[in-house]
Amino acid sequence: MSQTGAVTHLRATGLLLSILIPMLLLPARAAEAQEDDPALEIMEKHAARMAARNEHYEILLTIVDSKGKKEECAIAGVSRTRQDGQRKTLFVFLAPEAVKDAEILIIQNPSRENEVQYTLSPGTDDVTTLTGATLRNAFADSAFTYRDIMLEQQASEHSGYRIVKDEDIDGVTHHVLDAFPVSRSEKDERECSRRRLWIRSDNHLITRIEHYDGNNTPVRTLVCSRLETAKPAGAPRYTVFTMTTANGSKTVLEYETIIVNGEQPDEQDFILTAEAATKSVGEMLPGPSPVDPQIPEWGSIEFGEIVEFRQSPVTRFLSENITLSGHYHVRFYRDIEKDNDTENYNEFRNNARLKTETILNDSTKLILSIDARFDVDQNEGGLWRTEEDDLDLWEAYVKYQAPHVDVWVGSQVIRWGKSDELNPTDNFTPEDFSEMMTLDRVERKIPVPMARTSCYLGDFTLQAIYLPYFVPAPNTPAESDWVMPILRTYSAMGLTIDRNTPDKNTKNSVYAAKVIYRGPTFDVGASFASHYNQIPALRVLPPFVVYAYEKQQSYGVEFETLLKNVGLRGEAVYTTDDLLATNDPLDADAVTERDRLTFIIGADYTFVNDIYLNMQYFAQLTDDYSSDIAGEEYSQSIIGTFSRDFMREKLELSLTGRYDFKPDGWFLAPEIEYQLNDFTTITLSVGLFGGDESSFFGQFGDNDQVGLEVKASF
């Protein structure tokens, strides 16, 4: 958009801003309406409903021409009406760059004398004055006219109104009126010879305006939608206005915010300078201001009785009881080095999730979500290959709430334990390790069918979980770079991997119980669980390698406290019959069972300047240890996160790492996360793996990568 065109365009859009679309033809001060003229009475009621002593708003304007080309424009505006009826409105254009800081100032008087419109071009400071017939022109490719942005004053002297009929639309009675210009000035300014208005009888808001030319042909149509409550006055207003023209162009005006009867703007706010305009809409104030807030001398505007918006039962139920949310998460990873011809050099991951939350009644809620994935890899040879393309029902459960009791039934994710990254007591919902650590733990969790309950008894909470059958962690695709290298070795030896899992029947059910005490100083908990190992052990039974799962019993404890402002958390679990690999993976007895104690203890603290540090110590002690068991009798790891916020939590730099001792292995993930807006986050990350090749992380040493991800949530 050119600079010259900007002013033109700017004027076009200004109209939109004028809150006023609904008031396009209404008398803002129709007090003189004749009592015996029902049409004027209707218009008067509408004007009363829309009256305000001031308005602050932000608007998104979308202009679509007849060829479908779209332009968007963001505008802030402020209006005030004086007690003597003089009205001033100032619009400031915020975006796009071509019209940024352009302004429109409109001054209107009840007498209709000296009404004027000024436009200020950004950069040149050129001011253009508009009055009379120039107001009827359409601007740029907008569907509105200059006249549209102005309120009608003393409409009875300038416009005539006639009731045509009453019409029922969506269960609401509408008054249908015709409006036609009467005075010479009105005829000059209006581009049409007649307008037909639809006005709701319940709240007197306009829902539709049709404009007709001298041949009685419709030339433009305005449709008002999205009824919301303006703040803080509580008056309902339409907040989306769509104007379509006979030639197929369209302009949509959407209020992003609107404050009615908020802070009363000062007179100096209505001066054509960018600074004053900005100031008027509550933007950055340059230093301590001597201008003090006042109690508005008018007091509150009474809007009269607000009749509830009539909706069909279905519409009402949907709007009041169903919440929709979701995200789209796209990630791209690229290996830092080309290590061999078979690895996946580029990985492209897409995930979309849609979630609905439906209130069934006062105590029951239904949560449903679906999850779509589309993952592709590109190997060294340049071949793109689909790794995963799924559409799954994700969480699907009912929550029932009663005094002191919650019950959840259905497919869901849970997370037990007090510590941060690792939770030894959390053995119920599996994690997707097909991308190893590149996904947060929150996103690795997969819902599984279960019933669970929590009973709240003062400071104590009792929890119970029942899974009708065991669901293991999903398999990592054989072609993935993240598949355990030992599986490739087995395949190379001609062994077939048998991904056997326990049958889905109640003999293989999982159950657990926990009691938690939440006190002023300490939170502590103790738990028992009968479950399976989530990650399978591998049992070699030529010609197969069989996934091995065993029923285990776990006895856990956990705690959490604050020492000054340092958070201390820990948990420990004693597991019976844990499956451990032996030193000879080709031995038919490559898996042995031992009891194990696993524990983690950690601390976190937020320093001044938003620096956050979290350190955890993780260890496993094997009972009845023998030298044929792979790994150490006492294995240890250090896990840490260091992060710092900048720009008021808009930007975060973080470094997450883990170091395993004997065999030494490590993982390091520096990350930059930037919140692009309230909906979108962009993350740039690096994943580094290293250490002894026999260590867990060392075996993925060829998978060092950089990643770029974008997540949009709504």
Partner 1 sequence: MRKTTLLLTFSSLLAGLLASGAPPKEFKTAREVHAYVDESYNGDNSSMKLTLILTNKRKEKRKRDLTRYRVEKIPRKTILCWVFPADLRGTATLTLEVEGKDDIQRIYLPAMKKIRKIATGDKGKSWAGTDFAFEDLQEQDLDDFTYSELKTVKLGDQECYYYSMTPKTEDKSCYGKIDNWIRKDIMKPMRAGYYDKKGKFYKELRFLDYKKIQDIWTACRLLMIDHREKHQTDFLVDKIVYNRKLDEKIFSTQGMLDVPEEF
Residues that bind partner 1 (CB under 8 A): 94, 231-232, 259, 262-263, 278, 282-285, 287-288, 290-295, 300, 325, 327, 365, 399, 401, 403-404, 406, 413-415, 418, 442, 454, 456, 461, 518, 520, 523, 560-562, 564-567, 605-608, 610, 645, 647-650, 675, 677-679, 681, 711, 713-714
The reply to whether omega before 474 is within 30° of 0 (cis) is no
- To partner 1, the closest distance from the beta carbon of 46 in angstroms equals 25
- CB-based contacts of 505, cutoff 8 Å, min separation 6: 469
Using the minimum distance from each CB to partner 1, give the nearer residue, 138 or 455.
455
Q: Which amino acid is at 235?
A: A
Cα(448)–Cα(429) distance, integer angstroms: 6
- To partner 1, the closest distance from the beta carbon of 713 in angstroms equals 4
Using the minimum distance from each CB to partner 1, give the nearer residue, 553 or 713.
713
- To partner 1, the closest distance from the beta carbon of 461 in angstroms equals 6
Using the minimum distance from each CB to partner 1, give the nearer residue, 347 or 558.
558
Q: Which amino acid is at 647?
A: M
Cα(109)–Cα(695) distance, integer angstroms: 81
Strands, E assignment, 5-145: 54-64, 70-81, 87-95, 103-108, 116-120, 127-130
CA 223, 224, 226 angle in degrees (round to 5)? Answer: 135
Q: Which amino acid is at 557?
A: V
Using the minimum distance from each CB to partner 1, give the nearer residue, 430 or 663.
430
* 73 within 8 A of 60, measured Cβ to Cβ: yes
Using the minimum distance from each CB to partner 1, give the nearer residue, 462 or 497.
462
Closest CA to 592 of 605, 577, 602: 577
- CB-based contacts of 86, cutoff 8 Å, min separation 6: 107, 108, 109, 110
- CB-based contacts of 272, cutoff 8 Å, min separation 6: 90, 103, 105, 118, 120, 127
Using the minimum distance from each CB to partner 1, give the nearer residue, 384 or 679.
679
- To partner 1, the closest distance from the beta carbon of 560 in angstroms equals 5
**Across the chain, which distance is largest between two alpha carbons, in Å?**
104
- To partner 1, the closest distance from the beta carbon of 668 in angstroms equals 23
CA 184, 188, 189 angle in degrees (round to 5)? Answer: 120
Using the minimum distance from each CB to partner 1, give the nearer residue, 242 or 461.
461
Using the minimum distance from each CB to partner 1, give the nearer residue, 383 or 608.
608
- To partner 1, the closest distance from the beta carbon of 563 in angstroms equals 10
- To partner 1, the closest distance from the beta carbon of 406 in angstroms equals 6
Using the minimum distance from each CB to partner 1, give the nearer residue, 169 or 318.
318
- To partner 1, the closest distance from the beta carbon of 285 in angstroms equals 6
Using the minimum distance from each CB to partner 1, give the nearer residue, 459 or 479.
459
- To partner 1, the closest distance from the beta carbon of 259 in angstroms equals 8
Q: Which residues on adjacent β-strands are paired with residue 141?
A: none
DSSP states of 156-220 = HHHEEEEEEEEEEETTEEEEEEEEEE-SHHHHHH-S-SEEEEEEETTT--EEEEEEE-TTS-EEE
* 635 within 8 A of 615, measured Cβ to Cβ: no
- To partner 1, the closest distance from the beta carbon of 331 in angstroms equals 16
- To partner 1, the closest distance from the beta carbon of 207 in angstroms equals 25
Using the minimum distance from each CB to partner 1, give the nearer residue, 349 or 365.
365
Using the minimum distance from each CB to partner 1, give the nearer residue, 229 or 508.
229
- To partner 1, the closest distance from the beta carbon of 456 in angstroms equals 5
**For residue 48, what is the enclosing H or E element?**
helix 38-50
* 620 within 8 A of 630, measured Cβ to Cβ: no
The reply to whether omega before 468 is within 30° of 0 (cis) is no
* 40 within 8 A of 30, measured Cβ to Cβ: yes
- To partner 1, the closest distance from the beta carbon of 714 in angstroms equals 5
- To partner 1, the closest distance from the beta carbon of 354 in angstroms equals 12
Using the minimum distance from each CB to partner 1, give the nearer residue, 259 or 639.
259
Using the minimum distance from each CB to partner 1, give the nearer residue, 47 or 76.
76
Using the minimum distance from each CB to partner 1, give the nearer residue, 82 or 231.
231
* 683 within 8 A of 670, measured Cβ to Cβ: no
**For residue 513, what is the enclosing H or E element?**
strand 510-518
Q: How far is CA 447 from CA 400, 443, 531, 696, 707, in A?
A: 18, 11, 16, 26, 26
Total length of the chain: 714
- CB-based contacts of 170, cutoff 8 Å, min separation 6: 310, 311, 312
- To partner 1, the closest distance from the beta carbon of 180 in angstroms equals 40
Using the minimum distance from each CB to partner 1, give the nearer residue, 7 or 94.
94
Scanning 99-164, the segments in alpha helix (DSSP H) are: 155-158
Q: Which residues on adjacent β-strands are paired with residue 322?
A: 358
Scanning 496-644, the segments in alpha helix (DSSP H) are: none
Closest CA to 134 of 121, 115, 154, 151: 115
- Neighbour tally for 305: CB within 10 Å: 7
* 3-state percent helix, strand, coil for the chain, nearest multiple of 5: 15, 50, 35
| Burial (CB count within 10 angstroms: exposed 0-12, middle 13-18, buried 19+), residue 78 | buried
- To partner 1, the closest distance from the beta carbon of 675 in angstroms equals 8
Cα(269)–Cα(93) distance, integer angstroms: 15
Using the minimum distance from each CB to partner 1, give the nearer residue, 497 or 603.
603
Tokens 């909706």, located at residue: 311
- To partner 1, the closest distance from the beta carbon of 428 in angstroms equals 11
